[in-house]
Amino acid sequence: MIINLYIMTRSVLVICFFILLLNEVIAKESTLSVQGFIGDSVVLQCHSGNVRLESITAHWRYNDVKNVYDIEDGKESTGDQDRVYRDRTEMFPAEYMKGNFSLKLRKLQNTDGGSYCCFIPNINKQQCTQLQIKEKPMGIQETPGTNRGVESKAERIVSLLIPFFAVSILFCVRVIV
């Protein structure tokens, strides 16, 4: 009985450790990784979640330096937009009320690679995307509306840890019985 209690306690502690570790990774991991090809388009995701915004304001920045796109009070504001992005950006105004502030960047160039961050000041939220630019392999055509390689590190870790948690829980149940 004491050995079973010891094994169960140790198993629970291991599970708790991994849950805390996973929670820390998810909390810190707000950066997605997206791959784009020269000449194609890519959509950089930004969502406010289920929060309803009184005033719709969002800002897109490249490497915290260049102004990519601004939405001020629900309206496009490209007056301060860096010239590198002129006529290459597109937003989806019909989606603003749903909390979607995703940005489409067209005609990708080698110099577009880097970190793009979306700031939503009303809810103090920042969501960043690391854009990697590659040469387009021969024979590959752009598929509208798709991003290649969109998966955060947290999503990969979760998918790897789910089987571990399932086995640990089954082991605990078996020890108790």
Q: What is the pLDDT of residues 11-58, one digit of tens each?
A: 655 564 555 444 444 444 456 889 999 999 999 999 887 666 667 889
Model confidence, pTM: 0.62
Query: Distance between CA atoms of 97 and 140, rounded to whole angstroms?
Result: 35
Q: What is the pLDDT of residues 116-174, one digit of tens each?
A: 999 998 888 899 999 999 988 876 555 554 454 444 555 556 566 666 666 666 655 56
SS (H, E, C) 12-30: HHHHHHHHHHHHHHHHHCC
Total structural domains within the chain: 2
> Structural domain of residue 97, as residue ranges?
31-151
Query: Distance between CA atoms of 35 and 168, rounded to whole angstroms?
Result: 36
Say yes or no: 69 and 91 in one domain.
yes
Say yes or no: 124 and 63 in one domain.
yes
Q: How would residue 102 be classed by pLDDT, with cut points 50, 70 and 90?
A: very high
